[in-house]
């Protein structure tokens, strides 16, 4: 079984300040972890992924995330927020189930990022 908890439903930051979106995961097997972004009336876009290589993962648009196994966390950060970053962000976990089949992607409930001018 796998699950994801996004610790904040809404995060508000000022333009130019750092962004931190928090995510904790649970998985019975070695997971792959992803962050996706969904802009209003647009499709889901992959920001970055972790698959047991480097624990610090760099993604598109200046975002990065750090995998911490001891804390079962995969927080998303960006040094300086831009107005165009305003969107819904989803932390996602993927792993195999006990039968070797796919459990699909398990999404968190999402964090709504608001950028103040």
Partner 1 sequence: DAGVTQSPTHLIKTRGQHVTLRCSPISGHKSVSWYQQVLGQGPQFIFQYYEKEERGRGNFPDRFSARQFPNYSSELNVNALLLGDSALYLCASSLEAGPSYEQYFGPGTRLTVT
Among 8, 72, 86, 96, binds partner 1 (CB under 8 A): 96
Among 32, 59, 66, 77, binds partner 1 (CB under 8 A): 32
Under the criterion CB under 8 A, does residue 102 sit at the interface with partner 1?
Answer: yes
Tell me the C-alpha to C-alpha distance, in Å, between residue 79 and each of 16, 22, 39, 45, 47: 8, 15, 20, 20, 15
The H or E element containing residue 105 is strand 102-107
Question: 25, 9 in Cβ contact below 8 A?
Answer: no
Count of residues that interact with partner 1, criterion CB under 8 A: 27
Comparing CA positions, the residue from 107, 109, 49, 61 lying closest to residue 86 is 61
Under the criterion CB under 8 A, does residue 22 sit at the interface with partner 1?
Answer: no
Under the criterion CB under 8 A, does residue 43 sit at the interface with partner 1?
Answer: yes
Nearer to partner 1 by Cβ, of 15 and 44: the residue is 44
Find tokens 């039968």 and name the residue: 99
Range 55-84, binding partner 1 (CB under 8 A):
none
Instruction: Name residue 14's beta-bridge partners.
Output: 116
Under the criterion CB under 8 A, does residue 37 sit at the interface with partner 1?
Answer: no
Binding site for partner 1 (CB under 8 A): 31-32, 34, 36, 42-46, 49, 51-52, 90, 94-97, 101-110
């Amino acid at each position: 079984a796998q699950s994801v908890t996004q610790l904040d439903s809404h995060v508000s930051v000022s333009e130019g300040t750092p962004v931190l979106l928090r995510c904790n995961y649970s998985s019975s097997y070695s997971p792959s972890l992803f962050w996706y972004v969904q802009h209003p009336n647009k499709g889901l876009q992959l920001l970055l992924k972790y698959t047991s290589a480097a624990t610090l993962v760099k993604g598109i648009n200046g975002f990065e995330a750090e995998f911490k196994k001891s804390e079962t966390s995969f927080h998303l950060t960006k040094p300086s927020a831009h107005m165009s970053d305003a969107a819904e962000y989803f932390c996602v976990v993927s792993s195999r189930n006990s039968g070797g089949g796919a459990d699909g992607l398990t999404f968190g409930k999402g964090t709504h990022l608001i950028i103040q001018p």
